Amino acid sequence: MTAVLTRAQWLAFDRLNPAPTFFARPAWAQALADAMPGTVPAPLRVEAGSDSFLLPLVRPPRGRMPFREYVGFPLGGYTCVLDANGRPAPLSSALAVVTQVADQADHLRLYPWPLGPAYAPERALQRAHETAVIDCSRGFAHAVAGMRGVTRRMAEQANRRGVVCARAEIRELPDYYDLLEAASREWPAGRPSTSYVLLKRVLEQGGDDAQLWFAYAGGRRIAGGIVLFGSDELFFWSAAMDRNASAYRPSNALNVALIRAACERGVHWYNLGASEAIPGLERFKHDLGAQTIPYREVRTRSRAFLWYERARTALRYGRAC
């Protein structure tokens, strides 16, 4: 049996039992709903055996067809089957929950949290992804000891050159977005992959669990990022650097400062996210001491939804021709 929790019920649960990743928390779902019209938070309470579990999801904007669609979560955000204490459910329970929801939905797409159990119904389509993480469970000194020596020296060099890293206020987000837009001109898409509205709503909804940081040199912002906290993870969600200030090594300094913040917060993992097979980015994360963790996107479709997708694709192809 499944039931959708109200916003008040989900918030009450999260206050007592925050999910291990920010992406499986109500602040992320509500920010998506605010920034993406038609998106609706849909945290499902699912009974499996004698126990009750929570599967955080959203419903995407509805089209003309009355399909039951769920995503956990849009933009590659993770979800996690949670037990009554907000901890990742055991594999067998998580699989039972996801299978039950998949059987009831016309379309289900999940990105299970890479640092929790990996589960997928037998009929699911799966797509491989990777993320990069640093273990912070043994403290800052141990986490930094895993870096390449040259990477540590670059961070120390940044400090000697007067680079200072600090958390900023939401009102400084326009300055960060200017930095992000300038940096993204060198990226394949030529623009930020995340809208200003979504960044703003995440910071507003997330409170102390969604933070904007800058690296400063001479009072000037030369790098920055937005990090998201779950109970077990700091996720480095968005990052940008002024290429003209690369000699200051601000990215090295900022990552070291954020690793320290993760350790002080007491989270287990510093998650740098996917590199999307960009060699330079993968190398930078490896030099920080990050290990690669594989995970899979999971997708199920009903027969009716599959035929609908095929018909829609054929129609688009016909128009293109």
**Average of pLDDT values for 156-169?**
96
**Average of pLDDT values for 179-206?**
92
Helix ranges (H only) for 17-57 are: 26-35
* Angle (nearest 5°) at CA 184 between 179 and 185: 110
Confidence of residue 130 (pLDDT cuts 50, 70, 90): very high
Q: Pairing mode, if any, of strands 40-41 and 44-48?
A: unpaired
Tell me the pLDDT of the chain averaged across its residues.
Answer: 94
Question: What pLDDT score was predicted for residue 79?
Answer: 98
Are 88 and 116 in contact by the 8 Å Cβ rule? The answer is yes
Q: Considering only CA atoms, which of 235, 294, 290 is closest in space to residue 265?
A: 235
Confidence of residue 277 (pLDDT cuts 50, 70, 90): low
Asked if pLDDT for residue 15 goes beyond 70, the answer is: yes
Phi and psi torsions of 54, nearest 5°: -115, 130
Task: For residue 92, count other CB atoms closer than 10 A to its CB.
Answer: 12
**Average of pLDDT values for 5-23?**
97
Helices vs. strands in the chain: H and E counts, helices first: 10, 14
Q: Which of 18-22, 152-156, 223-227, 279-283 has the lowest mean pLDDT?
A: 279-283
Question: What pLDDT score was predicted for residue 188?
Answer: 75
> Which carries the bigger pLDDT value, residue 62 or residue 317?
62
Asked if pLDDT for residue 278 goes beyond 70, the answer is: no
With a pLDDT cut of 90, the percent of the chain lying above it is: 86
Question: What pLDDT score was predicted for residue 13?
Answer: 98
Task: For residue 189, count other CB atoms closer than 10 A to its CB.
Answer: 8
* DSSP secondary structure, 212-274, as one string: EEEEEETTEEEEEEEEEE-SSEEEEEEEEE-GGGGGG-HHHHHHHHHHHHHHHHT-SEEEEE-
Strand partners of residue 168: 212
Asked if pLDDT for residue 33 goes beyond 80, the answer is: yes
Are 142 and 273 in contact by the 8 Å Cβ rule? The answer is no
Asked if pLDDT for residue 280 goes beyond 80, the answer is: no
Q: Which tens digits make up the pLDDT trace of 67-123?
A: 999 999 999 999 999 999 999 999 999 999 999 999 999 999 999 999 999 999 989
Q: Which long-range contacts (CB under 8 A, 24 or more apart) does 136-144 make?
A: 136/234, 136/259, 136/262, 136/263, 136/267, 136/268, 136/269, 136/270, 137/268, 139/263, 140/259, 140/260, 140/263, 140/264, 143/259, 143/262, 143/263, 143/270, 143/289, 144/256, 144/259, 144/289
Asked if pLDDT for residue 247 goes beyond 70, the answer is: yes
Question: What pLDDT score was predicted for residue 320?
Answer: 53
**Average of pLDDT values for 190-215?**
96
Q: What are the CA-CA distances from residue 121 to residues 101, 133, 149 (Å)?
A: 10, 26, 44
